[in-house]
Every structure is written in C-alpha cells, then in structure tokens.
Amino acid sequence: MTVWTNKMEREVVLTKRDCEARLVPVGTEIMIPKNSFVTITQALGGTFSVAVNGNLARIDEKDADALGKVIEVEHFDVMDDGSVNEDHVWSALRKCYDPEIPVNIVELGLIYGVELTQNNEGKHIVQVKMTLTAPACGMGPSIIADVERSVTRVPGVDGIDVDLVFDPPWNNDMLSDEAKLELGLL
C-alpha cells in the first residue's frame, strides 16, 4: 500500500474492491466495480478525484484502500487546558478541497468565518460559516462532510455546526493570491 499525501500527479490504478464514488459536479452516487481501471487526477486532502468511464468522480478517504492507497491523517497537539486551538481548526479546513479545483476551500474563499464556542455542558463547538462556488453545486454535501470530518479530528472539538450561506455570493475576487497563482489567474 502507498501512503498518499497531497499530490497532483495522474496515476492509473486498478480498483481492489467495489468502491463508492460521487459523480462530479452533480454529486450522484455511483459504484465503481472491483478491477476497474481509474485515473487518479487529483489526490488532495484525503480525497481522490478519478476519471472513470469518461466521467469525473470523487472517492472519499474511507475508500482509499480500494485504490491501493493509505491516507496520512494530520495529528494536532492537545491543548493543556482541553480547549480548542483555532489555528488547528484553520489547518484542518485547509485539508478540504473542491474535487474539481486543486486549491483548498480556505484559499478558494469558501470559508467566511470560524467561531469557537462552549455550550451549557462545557462542550467545545466549532461554528463554520461557509459557502460554495455555486448554490446548485452537487458536491456541496461532500464538501460539508469533509469539513465536518476534518474539524472533528482537532483535539478538544466536541461538535461542529456548519452554516451554509450564499450571501454574499462567492466570486473569483474571494480567491486568495495563493489560489489565483495556483490557478494561473495571477
């Protein structure tokens, strides 16, 4: 098995088992059968974008083994007082990617804000206000699930509340300079 880190090289692999995926950009669930040839086009943040049968599909990290891959999960230091380190939350968000764009969702400008709160029971809740590149983005549920999975791995986080908003609407001006450079817009 290969330990897979953030990569942008194309690689053709044969699936080792049946594998769930979502068609990009519509988000329709499909099953890629065992022994299918797929081309990994993007492997960022623990997810894989693959070309299969003329379509682009996204495979979640839980199915990395179907591609013969192992995901390296980032580990964060635990805060002495049990609180949540906001820098760790932002780092976790930078591990989330749109399956069509090789830039993380923070640099894409999809994260409008992060707030750390504590509820009446003393539980640490992270509130994330975010948007999508388009309101009808079929991959929205997958991107939100990535945010939830990544942020809940941060030590001290007991829960996450994602507020998906479309005001203000996302546009290219929200891209960071790093994202613009990566996408050839600078």
pLDDT tens digits for 93-147?
999 998 888 899 999 999 999 999 999 998 999 999 999 999 998 999 999 999 9
Burial string for 36-72 (b: 16+ CB within 10 Å, else e) reads bebebbbbbbbbbbbebeeebbbbbbebbebbebebe
What does the pLDDT read at residue 186?
A: 82
> What's the pLDDT at 7?
52
Instruction: Name the band, by pLDDT with cuts 50, 70 and 90, for residue 8.
Output: low
CA distance 111 to 165: 10
Ranking 7-16, 35-44, 78-87, 154-163 by mean pLDDT, the lowest is 7-16
The confidence score (pLDDT) of residue 2 equals 38
Predicted confidence (pLDDT) per residue in 40-73, tens digit:
999 998 899 999 999 999 999 999 999 999 988 8
Confidence of residue 173 (pLDDT cuts 50, 70, 90): very high
Q: Tell me how far apart the alpha carbons of residues 117 and 123 are, in angstroms, rounded to a whole number.
A: 8
**pLDDT of residue 3 exceeding 50:** no
User: What number is the average pLDDT over the span 11-18?
Assistant: 97
168: CB partners within 8 A, 6+ apart: none
What mean pLDDT is reported for the chain?
A: 92
pLDDT at 94 (0 to 100): 96
Q: Residue written as tokens 């613009």?
A: 180
**Interval 177-181 mean pLDDT:** 93
Q: What angle do CA 164, 146, 63 make, to 5 degrees?
A: 145
Domains of the chain with CATH codes = 2-71 (2.30.30.40), 86-182 (3.30.300.130)
- Sign of the torsion formed by the C-alpha atoms of 175, 182, 3 and 25: positive
